[in-house]
A and B are shown apart, each in its own frame.
Chain A
Amino acid sequence: MTRLTPWLAAAGMAAAMLMSGASGAQEIGTALKPDEIKAEPFKDAKTLGKVAKGDRLEIVARQSGWLQVKAGGKKGWVRLLSVRRGQAGQTNVAQEVGGVAGVATGRTGTGQVVSTTGVRGLDAEELKAAKFDEKQIARAESLAASSEDARKFAGQGGLAAQQIKSLPDPRGGAQ
């Protein structure tokens, strides 16, 4: 047991680091593709600079399809779909210990295993063993909203149906 202690301590520290990352501070990301940094979150806004693929960014905020970032001394907006998001520190933990511990436990990152204790999960075995619950499904069905009720609620939120074309499969799959 004593031999394990340094490992547990390291895992605890990693977990603590992850948590501090989660509580705010800063979030980092990586550019998935080259993109322009815009002064405002729309395509016709003034271009302030560029990011290259692989550039690290600091993510400040999100608005619809745009992320406000700091990169290369510039602060502006890049497309959400151009960025892979990740917290500072997390990637390193996953890379350093996730490869070994992750294989052994089926999870990635030792720091994270600690936090799973007592969590109510839903895995393949539980689903397979699940027994039909008539009361629950009847309850669920009784909570269904009518289309009219849903339409009114949408209206209250200012939502209106829009005409939007279907998205084609970019890989040209059979449709």
Chain B
Amino acid sequence: MNARQVRGLLLILGISLTGSVAAIDLDELRRAIEGPKKEKKQEKTEQPATKKDAAKDAGAATPATEPKKKDKFDLGKVLSAVRQISVEEEIEIGRQISGNLLGAAPLVADGALQAYVNRVGRWIASQSGRSDLKWTFGVIDSDDINAFAAPGGYIFITKGLYARLQDEAQLAGVLAHEIAHVQEKHHLKVLQKQQLMSVGSDALSRKIKGQEVVQKLIGSGAEILARGLDKTAEFEADRIGVVLAARAGYDAFGLPAVLQDIGANTQDAGSVALLFKTHPHPDERLSVLGDAMGQRFDDVKGKALPERLVRMR
């Protein structure tokens, strides 16, 4: 084993031992991008036996690829270098984003309210495809009308939006939309794409403490929550949200009613500026959701529970 190979091996061990969130196998990536150039200087006979060995080779030899593609950025190869983010890593990312969000808008100091939202949210999350996560819900101290989801099962609703809700089914609809984002890993996918774009920056290769690595991955503060997702992801979360709320036994029209209300009755347009920037307009969401729902929920019985909605102190 030469010095270069040892370095490569140490790099991999370093990443796995620190438990960082490196979502990408750096060596694979480096080979995908830089490898072909270097390979020209290598002897062609030095081909690794397996892919795993190749990874340890830290940009030295590369597996055989079609010669024509060698000088190009091979997107397919880069994509295959993205490994699955583990649940632990996902939670670490979500915790960092959420801690940042709470730094901007802390929890409303009302234990009864927070406990209530957690019970409602956890019950809906139990109907999702990720019922094994430890879900955390919270009402945050902002008059803005918005709700946020972060990877790993962190969901927050502003008190501005909460104050508009009329029954528990509406709360369920809002939380279920956010739960859908976590279930579908919408934000994680955005992060993975970003990492692919800036792969030359070598952001994850240095040995630094876990939290710093995570922060580097998510950018500045909680800006990932201000950038939003694409429309398709939002429409999907609306559809899944309606279904999850209904599976939990709620009136399926909680989310549509909230969208209708926000679309029409928002007195203070400044309070929805971020929501409207990061989401399609509520009217459009309602229309698209309406097409999906059609008459499918006509015979579904669900509860609205207006009397159980906890009012803010």
B290 within 8 Å of A by Cβ? yes
B246 pairs with A162, CB closer than 8 A: yes
Stretch of A47-55, A69-77, A142-150 at the chain-chain interface: A142-150
- Complex contacts, B137 vs chain A, CB 8 Å: 143-144
- Complex alpha-carbon distance, A128 and B103, angstroms: 11
Q: Is A103 an interface residue (CB 8 A)?
A: no
CA distance A174 to B243 in the complex (A): 19
Q: Which residues of B contact A160 (CB under 8 A)?
A: 249
Is the contact region of chain B dominated by helix, strand, or loop, or is it mixed?
helix
For the complex, give the distance between the alpha carbons of A145 and B136 in Å: 8
- Determine the main DSSP class of A at the interface with B: loop
Which of B18-26, B76-84, B266-274 faces chain A?
A: B266-274
B142 and A150 form a contact (CB under 8 A): no
**Contact A64–B251 (Cβ < 8 Å):** yes
A25 proximity list for chain B (CB < 8 A): none
- CB contacts (< 8 Å) of B141 on chain A: these are 120
B138 touches A85 (CB 8 A): no
Who on chain A is nearest to B286 by CB?
Answer: A81
Q: Are B253 and A168 in contact (CB under 8 A)?
A: no
For the complex formed, measure the closest distance between the CB of B173 and the CB atoms of chain A, giving whole angstroms: 12
* CB of A9 closer than 8 Å to a CB of B: no
18 contacts between A and B (CB under 8 A): A64-B251, A81-B289, A112-B270, A116-B270, A122-B105, A128-B221, A132-B96, A132-B100, A133-B103, A136-B103, A140-B154, A150-B119, A150-B123, A153-B123, A154-B248, A157-B305, A161-B248, A164-B252
Question: Which residues of B are interface residues toward A (Cβ below 8 A)?
Answer: 95-96, 98-107, 111, 114-115, 118-123, 126-127, 131, 134-138, 141-144, 146, 154, 158, 168, 211, 215, 219-223, 225-227, 232, 235-236, 239-240, 242-243, 246-253, 256-257, 260-261, 263-265, 267-271, 273-274, 277, 283, 286-293, 295-298, 300, 302-305, 308
